[in-house]
């Protein structure tokens, strides 16, 4: 099972829309897909027409069960459509990060999701994780469980400036995973006929270089309408340009697999008699105590919110946003 985390602290960047429609498009292409809603707002369930009052087992219960997922992990999953199942979120998930919320006192606090997913991995080909818009234990769980991360970045003024901080925060968090976490930037909500959006897209590509995916998710009214009707774009408008954008995204991901998934990496390490990198072992060895984890998350939040230094750039957009040009450090 290949797992991808969709993560961005900034709201309105198309994070959940990307997660829902990426998962639905994978399912439409006959990939057994699990969508994990780690956002306490529960927007994945809403966008797929899952009534919250009918959710008997939410993700919070799955993460706190022993083992994660409980006696029957399949009972925690909601069948949305053919090849698509959802691990739904409820508001109770928000309380898990509190000092007495349940996760903080667990020795494997940042590996609960990966343990849960490992128990159902043989049922799926893909797992798409919609991360919360915060830096905390829920996001840490998502990144630990993922093989790769995608940052959706709206081709808008404020999103571009924050994309550097978001990438830095994810890289800081992934450093504790003791393995490389491939990171990609996905331009979203793009208006190809707007000059500012086109300039901002060029600035994203300049600043993030090869991390930027060579495609965009355009801004389409049909995506908003589909969410309002509780349907993915593959059901609401299967022949639309919006649907084609997500088909192109899936095709690109298929053509660019991660070099080594988390599960394969652990198998190699275990075969050499060394310590596996995830689950309980990864946090019970020289793993951080609750105080050290809190300190780590605090430092990552500070790094993510630190102001970006003002530097000369080569385009008006980059000068306004104070984004460093890749050429600025080279000798003229």
pLDDT, tens digit, 9 for 90 and up, residues 199-226: 888 888 888 889 999 999 999 999 999 9
pLDDT at 230: 96
- Of the chain, the end-to-end C-alpha distance in Å amounts to 48
pLDDT at 35: 99
- DSSP, collapsed to helix, strand or coil, labels residue 130 as strand
Cα radius of gyration rounded to whole Å, the chain: 20
pLDDT at 150: 96
Among candidate residues 252, 255, 204, 262, the one with its CA nearest the CA of residue 22 = 252
CA 7-5-35 angle, 5° bins: 115
Q: Which residues contact 35 (CB under 8 A, 6 or more apart)?
A: 19, 20, 23, 44, 48, 80, 84, 85, 86, 87, 127, 128, 130
Q: Give yes or no for residue 274 having a pLDDT over 70.
A: no
Whole-angstrom distance, CA of residue 236 vs CA of residue 205? 31
Whole-angstrom distance, CA of residue 89 vs CA of residue 80? 14
Among candidate residues 82, 146, 80, 90, the one with its CA nearest the CA of residue 114 = 146
Contact between residue 331 and residue 192 where contact means Cβ atoms under 8 Å apart: no
Question: Residue 267 — very low, low, confident or very high, per pLDDT cuts 50/70/90?
Answer: low
Burial status of residue 255 (CB atoms within 10 A of its CB: 0-12, 13-18, 19 or more): exposed
CA 165 from chain center: how many Å? 15
pLDDT at 320: 38
List the beta bridge partners of residue 104.
none
Buried b (16+ CB within 10 A) or exposed e, 45-63: bbbbebeeeebebbbbbbb
Beta-strand ranges (E) seen in 116-191 are 126-130, 148-154, 183-188
Q: Give yes or no for residue 317 having a pLDDT over 70.
A: no
pLDDT at 264: 57
Whole-angstrom distance, CA of residue 24 vs CA of residue 234? 7
Query: What is the per-residue pLDDT across 80-138, written as a single tens digit (0 to 9) for each?
Result: 999 999 999 988 898 888 877 678 888 899 999 999 999 999 999 999 999 998 888 99
**Superfamily designation of domain 2-321:** P-loop containing nucleotide triphosphate hydrolases (3.40.50.300)
pLDDT at 275: 42
For residue 254, the surrounding DSSP H or E stretch is helix 241-255
User: Which carries the bigger pLDDT value, residue 71 or residue 150?
Assistant: 150
The two structure tokens encoding residue 308: 């970006």
């Amino acid at each position: 099972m290949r797992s991808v985390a969709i993560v961005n602290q900034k709201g309105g960047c198309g994070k959940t829309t990307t997660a829902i429609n990426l998962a639905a498009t994978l399912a439409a292409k006959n990939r057994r897909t699990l969508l994990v809603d780690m956002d306490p707002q529960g927007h994945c369930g809403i966008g797929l027409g899952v009534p919250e009052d009918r959710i008997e087992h939410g993700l919070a219960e799955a993460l706190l069960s022993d083992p994660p997922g409980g006696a029957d992990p399949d009972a925690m999953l909601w069948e949305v459509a053919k090849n698509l199942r959802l691990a739904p979120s409820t508001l109770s998930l928000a309380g898990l990060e509190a000092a007495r919320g349940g996760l903080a006192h667990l020795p494997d606090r940042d590996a609960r999701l990966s343990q849960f997913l490992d128990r159902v991995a043989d049922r799926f080909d893909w797992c798409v994780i919609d991360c919360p818009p915060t830096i905390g234990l829920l996001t840490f769980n998502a990144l630990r469980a993922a093989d790769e991360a995608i940052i959706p970045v709206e081709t808008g003024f404020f999103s571009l400036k924050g994309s550097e901080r978001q990438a830095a925060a994810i890289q800081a968090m992934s450093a504790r995973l003791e393995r490389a976490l491939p990171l990609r930037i996905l331009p979203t909500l793009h208006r190809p006929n707007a000059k500012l959006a086109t300039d901002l897209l060029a600035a994203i590509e300049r600043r993030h270089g090869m991390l930027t995916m060579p495609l965009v998710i355009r801004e389409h009214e049909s995506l908003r309408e589909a969410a309002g009707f509780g349907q993915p774009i593959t059901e609401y408008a299967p022949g639309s340009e919006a649907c084609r954008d997500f088909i192109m995204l899936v095709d690109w991901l298929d053509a660019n697999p991660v070099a080594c998934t988390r599960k394969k990496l652990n198998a190699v390490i275990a075969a050499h008699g060394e310590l596996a990198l995830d689950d309980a072992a990864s946090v019970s060895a020289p793993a951080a105590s609750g105080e050290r984890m809190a300190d780590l998350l605090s430092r990552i939040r500070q790094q993510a919110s630190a102001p970006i230094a003002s530097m000369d750039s080569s385009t008006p957009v980059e000068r306004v946003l104070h984004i460093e040009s890749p050429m600025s450090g080279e000798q003229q």
